[in-house]
Amino acid sequence: MGLLDKVDNLEEVKPVKKAVAKKAVAKKAVARKTTPKRPAAKAAKTTTREAKLRPTGLPEGFELAGGMPRYISWLINFAVNFGLLIMGVSMNITSSGGGGPGASTWILAGAIAAILVNTMIMPVWTGRNFGEFTSRTKYINVYGNRPLFLHPIFNNLLGFLSLIGFFFVFTSMSELSDKKELTYFVIGIILMVIWVVNFFFKKNSDYSQGLFDMMFKCYLVKHVATGEETGWFARFEALGDFGDKYTEKSAARETKRAERAEEKINKAKQAKAENDSEDQSKD
């Protein structure tokens, strides 16, 4: 009888051990399921975004200029470079404006002077043009210094040169049999192609770098005045107040648009809810 009792006890103990083992295995399986699998992917995405926001060649202590300062800079430079030019050409074509051809000639001379000052004299002297002073931006190279003087000249004259190229192509298109006219046509095509290439470089670049920006390894960054500027430099820095006011007004307009859009959405939701309640009451 004693042996039979021992055998019975062994049979009773064995299932308990198996059950415990199964429970342990189940706990391990549950622990494996709850283990996160994507922290590395998220970290990689975050690193990639940070790398896009800050170029590897950008020196420390500088921040890339945003979309609004770039737009303000383009707007001011366009007005300075082409405002008087367009006015003078229009007056010369129509012979209007009260002054006749003489007035248009003076305006064209003023336009050429403005273009030279904004595209060559100002960048070489101060490192910035009127648009960059107004938007509080500037170009720097990978060492944090002012770029070579050729960079601002090429960069600023690009739009004007493309306009000259368009004029060459337009005026010489009808007489391509003449070698002189063919030469003007080819030069015009080259100038226009350079402008197009620069445009696509800027559009496809993560940092809005154009053709000459990449050639000279330059970035458009935010500029912070030291407060120690005097004379003409202080007056040029004061142009940034206009850019700041324009930015504030643009931000206020965007806020109002967002509020109006949200108000329209809320009214539409309210009207829909009222219609639904009316339909339910009819049913």
pLDDT digits (tens, 9 = 90+) for 163-202: 899 999 998 888 878 888 889 899 999 999 999 999 999 8
pLDDT at 161 over 80: yes
Using alpha carbons, select from 194, 60, 218, 190 the residue that is nearest to residue 132: 218
| Confidence at residue 278, expressed as pLDDT on a 0 to 100 scale | 75
- Name the region of 262 (left: φ>0; alpha: ψ -120 to 50; beta: rest): alpha
**Phi and psi torsions of 71, nearest 5°:** -65, -45
| Confidence at residue 174, expressed as pLDDT on a 0 to 100 scale | 80
| Confidence at residue 83, expressed as pLDDT on a 0 to 100 scale | 87
**Contact between residue 250 and residue 68 where contact means Cβ atoms under 8 Å apart:** yes
Beta-bridge partner residues of 138:
221
> Residue with structure tokens 């458009």?
220
pLDDT at 276 over 50: yes
For the segment 84-112, the average pLDDT, to the nearest whole number, is 74
**Contact between residue 117 and residue 153 where contact means Cβ atoms under 8 Å apart:** no
**Contact between residue 237 and residue 133 where contact means Cβ atoms under 8 Å apart:** yes
| Confidence at residue 85, expressed as pLDDT on a 0 to 100 scale | 84
For the entire predicted model, the pTM comes to: 0.66
Q: Is 140 helix (H, G, I), strand (E, B) or coil?
A: strand
Q: Give the Cα separation of 168 and 187 in Å (integer).
A: 8
Q: Which amino acid is at 191?
A: L
Q: Give the Cα separation of 154 and 262 in Å (integer).
A: 45
pLDDT at 259 over 70: yes
Q: Please report, rounded to a whole number, the percentage of residues in the chain having pLDDT higher than 70.
A: 77
Q: Between residues 184 and 54, which one has the greater pLDDT?
A: 184
Domain assignments of the chain as residue spans, ordered by start: 57-240
| Confidence at residue 36, expressed as pLDDT on a 0 to 100 scale | 47
pLDDT at 19 over 80: no
**Phi and psi torsions of 220, nearest 5°:** -90, 115
pLDDT digits (tens, 9 = 90+) for 232-253: 888 888 888 888 888 888 888 8
